[in-house]
Amino acid sequence: MSGKGAGLLQSVERAMRVLDHIAASPGPVAARDVARSLGLTLPTTYHLLTTLVTGGYLVHLSEEKAYALGHRVDDLARGLHRQIAVPPEVRRVASVVHQQAQAAAYYAAFRDAEMIVAHVAECPEHPRIRPLDVGFHQAPHATAFGKLMLARLPADDRETLLDHTGTPLVTAATVTDRMLLGRQLSQVRGTGLAVEVDEFQAGLSCMAAPVTDAAGRFVGAVAISMPTARLRADRWTAERAVRLGAVRATRAVSLSTAVRTGRAAG
């Protein structure tokens, strides 16, 4: 991560900021509001908006004199889902963990200092935490699979990432102090298990264990979420399901990699 930020094209970086700003807005946004919010001049903002409209990433709603997301954003989302799709064997592992733990189960993939939710196994009785849909990657300091990644990153990369993301308060229980978070991550490294209690959503807790490839490299995590009261009452059953799931997912990932490598060589 030490090289991130070098060689940025300012115009591209600004265009991405405009796109992010409009994506985060509840509705269409006027050009003047974009310029004011991002500290850009109005002519520059219009150039960026026009470029994004031409590319299909935004649409100009002339009657409202505002801009909204375009169809290409949906194309990108579908492409992301294809690229992070997990092998059938890993999906089966998540389903087994879901059944054994009686909790929503997740597979999160490690990609370039991000943990991104790639698959969810749930049911009406044991639904996912609603923000944790496929593609979710925010707040690593407040999620179990995020803490697992932070514990695995080299210290310099971890600090660089936290400098970028910050450690904002998500709930009243979120660990935001970097020194306290560091002690928590040391415990994660020691136990091979990450647990967060009420840090991401009040009344809900998560647990995650690491998944590695055939070379022993950290590639993802098996995780569950459940009401905090249930986790406290049935901690060891939940932990056993997550740890066994991570072992099985590790085998599945290694097998899938071997099959792909064999096909490529053939």
| 3-state per-residue secondary structure call for the chain | CCCCCCCCCHHHHHHHHHHHHHHHCCCCECHHHHHHHHCCCHHHHHHHHHHHHHCCCEEEECCCCEEEECHHHHHHHHHHHHHCCCCHHHHHHHHHHHHHHCCEEEEEEECCCCEEEEEEECECCECCCCCCCCCCCCCHHHCHHHHHHHHHCCHHHHHHHHHHHCCCCCCCCCCCCHHHHHHHHHHHHHHCCEEEEEEEECCEEEEEEEEECCCCCEEEEEEEEEEHHHHHHCHHHHHHHHHHHHHHHHHHHHHHHHHHHHHHHC
Q: What is the pLDDT of residue 90?
A: 92
**CATH class for the region spanning 10-76:** mainly alpha
Q: Which CATH architecture has domain 84-265?
A: 2-Layer Sandwich (3.30)
Name the band, by pLDDT with cuts 50, 70 and 90, for residue 159.
very high
Four-point Cα dihedral 229, 235, 239, 240, nearest 10: -130
Q: Give just the sign of the alpha carbon dihedral 94, 186, 143, 149.
A: negative
Domain boundaries, the chain: 10-76, 84-265
Name the band, by pLDDT with cuts 50, 70 and 90, for residue 263.
low
Q: Which range has the worst mean pLDDT, 5-19, 153-167, 178-192, 210-224?
A: 5-19
The radius of gyration of the chain from alpha carbons, rounded to an integer in Å, stands at 21
**CA–CA dist 150, 187 (Å, integer):** 12
The pTM for the full model equals: 0.77
The answer for 251, left when phi > 0, alpha when psi is -120 to 50, beta otherwise, is alpha
Q: What is the pLDDT of residue 11?
A: 86
Write the pLDDT tens digit of every residue in 241-253. 999 999 999 999 8
pLDDT at 1 over 50: no
Residue 21 corresponds to which amino acid?
H
Q: Assess whether the region 10-76 and the region 84-265 belong to the same CATH fold.
A: no
Q: CA-CA distances (angstroms) from residue 167 to 141, 142, 159, 164, 180? A: 6, 8, 11, 9, 11
